[in-house]
């Protein structure tokens, strides 16, 4: 579905991605694991077009989108749920959802469908985003992304700051959406349990390169924990 080859990107003169190459098949779920500062978020933001690629290519369904703007990528089926959720705190839940659908050119019925998939939000429609709990905000961020009717969902640290019971609910919801919508998932996450529960395969990133691929069951190895989990020294 999406392929990037020798992708480079960064911030000003600071290069973060140093030749990332990967392929993600339609309908699959891929986890990305690595220390903080190794390029995980930068990779997602570059795939979404929020950071320009300085070298390499990105193809979606065989089309070169390396230089395509973010809105064009969204219309082709990419959606991004950023770290920290970044909902609009001053807008109500309903307004957050409607804004996402309208921006993507989707009909009002799209919001209604998403609410059937996120029934917890129905009772919160008139509440402002800023008044929601962390778990409720994460559900809203996921629902808002789905209002664009994506085929590939990019998730950046979706369990950050959320209590374990809500994390399990998000795992179950994403697994259900993957089945019902045929969603493709690319997950950046520090929680090994979360990646293990959802991913078909795991890519390890180090200094802006994909250096290894693992089956989820291999994540318990101590050498993997030491080398790729947590904050880099």
In a domain, 72, yes or no: yes
146 found inside a domain: no
Asked whether residue 144 is assigned to any structural domain, the reply reads no
* Inside any domain, residue 25: yes
CA distance linking residue 49 with residue 30, whole number of Å: 19
**Domain span including residue 58:** 1-77+184-233
Q: Is residue 99 part of a domain?
A: no
Could you tell me if residue 152 is inside a domain? Answer: no
Q: Is residue 205 part of a domain?
A: yes
| CATH number of the domain within which 215 lies | 3.40.50.300
> What's the predicted TM-score (pTM) here?
0.90
3-state helix, strand, coil in the chain (%, to 5): 40, 25, 35
| Residue 137 covered by a domain | no
Number of domains in the chain: 1
Per-residue pLDDT of the chain in tens (233 residues, 90 and over written 9) = 999 999 999 998 899 999 999 999 999 999 999 888 899 999 999 999 999 999 999 999 999 999 999 999 999 999 999 988 789 999 999 999 999 999 889 998 999 999 999 999 999 999 999 999 989 999 999 999 999 999 999 999 998 888 888 888 899 999 999 999 999 999 998 888 899 999 999 999 999 999 999 998 887 765 666 666 654 43
């Amino acid at each position: 579905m999406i392929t990037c080859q020798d992708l480079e990107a960064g911030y000003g003169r600071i290069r973060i991605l140093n030749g990332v190459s990967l392929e993600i098949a339609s309908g699959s779920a891929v986890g990305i694991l690595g220390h903080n500062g190794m390029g995980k978020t930068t990779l997602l933001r570059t795939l979404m077009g929020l950071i320009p690629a300085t070298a390499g290519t990105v193809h979606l369904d065989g089309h070169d989108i390396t230089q395509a703007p973010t809105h064009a990528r969204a219309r082709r089926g990419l959606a991004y749920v950023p770290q920290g959720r970044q909902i609009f705190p001053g807008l109500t839940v309903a307004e957050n959802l409607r804004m996402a659908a309208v921006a993507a050119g989707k009909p009002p019925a799209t919001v209604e469908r998403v609410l059937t998939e996120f029934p917890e939000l129905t009772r919160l429609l008139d509440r402002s985003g800023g008044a929601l709990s962390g778990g409720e905000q994460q559900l809203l961020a996921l629902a808002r992304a789905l209002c664009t009717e994506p085929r590939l969902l990019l998730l950046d640290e979706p369990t950050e700051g959320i209590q374990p019971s809500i994390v399990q609910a998000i795992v179950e919801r994403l697994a259900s959406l993957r089945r019902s919508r045929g969603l493709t998932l690319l997950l950046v996450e520090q929680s090994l349990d979360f990646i293990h529960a959802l991913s078909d395969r795991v890519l390890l990133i180090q200094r802006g390169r994909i250096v290894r691929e693992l089956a989820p069951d291999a994540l318990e190895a101590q050498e993997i924990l030491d080398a790729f989990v947590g904050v880099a020294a």
